[in-house]
Structure 1
Amino acid sequence: MENTYAAATMERSEAAGGGQADIVIVGAGLAGLAVALGLHRKGVKSLVLESSPVLRASGFAFATWPNAFRALDALGVGDKIRKPHLLTQGLRVFSSSTGELIQDVDFTNEGKRNEFRCVRRDVLLQTLEEELPRGAIRYNSKIVSIQEEEGHVKILHLADGSTLRAKVLIGCDGINSVVAKWLGLAKATGSGRAATRGLAHYPDGHGFEPRFLQFIGHGYRAGLIPCNDTDVYWFYTWSHSRNDNGVDGSAAKMKQHVLAELRGSKVPAEAVDVVERSEMSDAAPLRLRPPLSLLWTSISKGNVCVAGDALHPMTPDLGQGGCSALEDGVVLARCLGDAIIHGAGTEKERIESGLREYAGMRRWRSVDLIGTAYVVGFVQQSGNPIVSFLREKVLGGVLARRLVKMSEYDCGML
């Protein structure tokens, strides 16, 4: 029955000359490619629209916790991602004010329950893309507006003047999502913080142990994680109030700003060297969707829904942005695919039922992730003397354990 549906979908799309696709996914990021691959595994065809001319691998790398690997295994690519990336042995959190070790979490005693790797973003995106059939992604295709047609079909107006009719519309188009705006989701707001990231390359090997190192205090949070034997990913987040020295956010000036801050604290010299030799991104403000707003607005409406940053933009303090996008992809592909193939009722009823099920499963998870990430970031970067004392004497361990706890989520199989 799955193959019959896929064949019928393909025939309708080709007959429409590219003007119609039953399932349209907006955005070829982690969430969009995960949804497309999940549907493909279930025998359901989709079309991914990407506004850029090629895959966008900005961000260099991201923390990949056990929940992300459960999703990658469900999609059939887990081992392809494990192979080129080091297994991280633990998490160490230091005070950047005193240099003292606040918390040491060992990942090696619990096997895959605490599996953690720093994954290069370009490697992951390319792996997901390669698993999709040719023509599944249409580049240079930016949606500018959505129009409702009689029935449940959506007409998508693209920047090049063309239109596309879709029976299912899935927004995976990031924090400034056109689809989320159409659904009426609350606009992402500023957190009062900003971040920059980088990737250092050591051709002869970096010599770091495979551990996730974090430095908190002094009003910032910094960290570094080896991806493999030659690449080390790092990040630096800070409060806007600390950026009053004229730094304009460009990569060159931000690099000097970060280096000055790290050298003025108790961060070890080898960690500073990672920033010194790295390629880095421009500074970017950290924004989040107010978590409680997701309790009374619709994640899905009829045949439209959102996933990834279009659903739950959050601060990076849990390292769960990319991980939760992969979770979304698996859950959405399963709910929608099963409803289309095995559900009862009309096609419209099956589609809407599948999206409602997905929304019900992801609503509270999204609220929890956004809210927890914000609180963790606030505590880790606070310059308040009382919060700083509690963080270094009590809360450091609590926060580290919370990071691990949030990664225990299991999205299930396709």
Structure 2
Amino acid sequence: MAQRAAWAAEPSTTANTDLLRLATAGSVDDGKSTLVGRLLHDSKAVLADQLEAVERASRDKGLEEADLALLTDGLRAEREQGITIDVAYRYFATGRRRFVLADTPGHVQYTRNMVTGASTAELAVVLVDARNGVVEQTRRHLAVAALLRVPHVVLAVNKMDLVAYSEDTFAAVADEFGALAAALGVPEVTAIPLSALRGDNVVTPSPNMDWYGGPTLLEHLESVPVSVDPASQPARFPVQYVIRPQTDAYRDYRGYAGQLASGVLRPGEEVVVLPAGLRTTIAGIDRLGETDVAVAVAPQSITVRLADELDVSRGDLIAPVDDVPQVTQDVEATVCWLSDRPLHPGARVLLKHTTRVVKAIVKEIDHRLDITSLDRQPAPALEANDIGRIVIRTASPLALDPYVANRKTGSFLLIDDQDGLTLAAGMVGDPLSDMGALT
């Protein structure tokens, strides 16, 4: 029997100030909603009245045991069809950490919702049915996680009870998934065999798989490192709002408010306002209830005061003079196409980057990614759920970082200029090639 490591220790009793954002994904009927329900139930994150409602609904369906999938499938259509349609967000906490969980759909037609759930995630749990192994939708979800640069990926090999808890079956799935992850440039994969229905290795260790010595799913979620040193990335401050009080006491006050997207800012630091390229110095930094703070750290919401009176407005970006993003009107990017309407070259759209929205035109579609073969294929258009590389020309300059360098300032949305619907999630550059994958 493999030895269980230090992660099996009792949870810490310290204040759980640490937050992990995670997303779940899996093919249809892989048991994803059941896994999320089991995780919530066994970690004592379900209120008594919620559990009673689920037990009552389960009895109405003729089930002897509570169907924990009903804890997450909240839409009426989801309950009736037994599938997940929309992204369901769940919030829970343990002694070690707080969690924001995005339960995303498994159907191909709802892959776009997985993009929504994973766009801010620090960890993605990809479910695979042990009986079926890696399928096309598994490849699609892993490709999306790779493109979105989700730092940690968990392979949850579910329904191990239906394959007699076979170590060989688990190993075969883990090997195939690992090879695909390596081809996509995914830096880290943790494989866990489990049964969401029976509770094996979800929150408590399974007595049925003594050959497995790794953590349970919850133990891994509690212990995976997610903290990032803000100083490791250059400062990026998109201006959201210009503050000019009209009272006598603050008549000379001019501040630029927003959320520090990355990095660290300090008073006295020389900065540049983009896209205009105007140079100045930070005169002071204020936070809610505090003035003249010594340092601002991402992702704090702050107000920056500048030493010079410059023409600065919403959508401008403030950055240190020694580490400036590229300012351009020609954007080469990878997009996940979300709309049911195909994308063709020549399409006119709005591009939203941080707090800036500009008019743009799609000049060309370079290729689409074939999820099955991972080949790049010529494409006259992008259809719903396609992942492709395009070239965009914007009406005014943007200050952009490559997505692999900065997820905040390297991402954008394409929006329909007529009805305001979101058309695509975009990543500056070619994240897979930039990571050394598919080359």
Measured against the shorter chain, the TM-score band is under 0.3
Higher helix share: 1
Larger radius of gyration: 2
Q: Highest relative contact order (Cα 8 Å, sep 6+), 1 or 2?
A: 1
TM-score normalized by structure 2?
Answer: 0.22
